[in-house]
Amino acid sequence: MLTLEDILNSHRTGTAVVMGILNVTPDSFSDGGEFLDPAAAIAQGRRMIEEGAAIIDIGAESTRPGSQRVPPEEQIRRLKPVLPALATAGAIISIDTTSREVGQFAIDSGAKIINDISAGQDEPELMALAGRFSCGYVLMHMLGQPRDMQADPRYDDVVAEVQDFLARRLEAARSAGLPAANCILDPGIGFGKTPQHNLQLLANLRVYRHMEQPLLIGASRKRFIGQVCNLSQPQRRLAGSLAAAIEAYRQGASIFRVHDVGETVQALKLAQAIREQEK
């Protein structure tokens, strides 16, 4: 079983870390409503751990394109029967939130990572909270907000602009008392990007290596895979999701946020074994 320290050092060791997605929401893009029932959510979390997930990322607010914000009290109501039950199930628990209030509940209930799609911009106190409790913290790039991020995303150079943003947010984390050693970077595949932007980011992940932080990629089942491969149903995008994960691992990413845990674990295990034989 990987520890938080193992995960935060995965970019140095070459360890491929799988983060299983668990949405306790009615409206997430791929599995909305499937795990709104607490018993179903707990069973799914345990299933993903058995399949090899080192992290379970639990979210109680959909961040799909066009989604609306969910009040912290409603997020906590959805999380209460699920998160504490999985905190001792054998994986590191991550909470997918931008709210300090939700973050505090999750940490009190056993979460060790905060996955913040706003990179600390929505509620800067969330970074300070993570620092006080020595949590891991995912800093993700997003252009706009979920409700409008896909309206008309534009960049002069998406790779450089995302890199500059993440560097600034890493400095903001340090200023908030959150050490860089606890930070994970996420270029935000699908969050305010066209299919071309997503492909450009995936093709150039190697440029982030000099930042010397673990890199998380969340491409699983996303719309750009369907657009490239002409697949309208998210559940049919497994092969494309695996291709994105393997290419990201080849370029230096070490944490992979996915829906299909068992298949991704198998693919990355082979990729890691191949890498270990390089001369």
Could you tell me if residue 202 is left (phi over 0), alpha (psi between -120 and 50 degrees) or otherwise beta?
alpha
Look at residue 255 in the predicted model and tell me its pLDDT.
98
Encoded tokens for 161: 């602009």
How many angstroms separate the CA atoms of 119 and 128, rounded?
A: 12
Task: Name the DSSP letter for residue 209.
Answer: G
Q: What is the model's pLDDT at position 33?
A: 63
Query: Is 193 among the residues known to form the active site?
Result: no
Residue 32's pLDDT is what?
Answer: 53
- Active-site residue flag, 269: no
- Tell me how far apart the alpha carbons of residues 123 and 128 are, in angstroms, rounded to a whole number: 10
Q: Which of 169, 221, 222, 237 is catalytic?
A: 222
φ and ψ at residue 10, rounded to 5 degrees: -65, -30
Closest CA to 217 of 250, 173, 194: 250
Q: Using only the alpha carbons of the chain, give its radius of gyration.
A: 17
Q: What is the pLDDT of residue 28?
A: 58
Interatomic CA distance for residues 102 and 108, integer angstroms: 10
The confidence score (pLDDT) of residue 151 equals 77
State the alpha helices, DSSP H only, in 66-194.
72-79, 83-86, 100-108, 125-132, 158-175
β-strands 183-186, 136-140 pairing: parallel
Q: What is the pLDDT along the chain (279 residues), one digit of tens a residue?
A: 899 999 999 999 999 999 999 999 886 555 556 788 999 999 999 999 999 999 999 999 987 777 778 999 999 999 999 999 999 999 999 999 999 999 999 999 999 999 999 999 999 999 999 999 999 999 999 997 887 778 789 999 999 999 999 999 999 999 999 999 999 999 999 999 999 999 999 999 999 999 999 999 999 999 999 999 999 999 999 999 999 999 999 999 999 999 999 999 999 999 999 999 987
CB 186 within 8 A of CB 216: yes
Instruction: Give CATH superfamily name and number for 4-275.
Output: Dihydropteroate synthase-like (3.20.20.20)
Instruction: Indicate the domain borders of the chain.
Output: 4-275
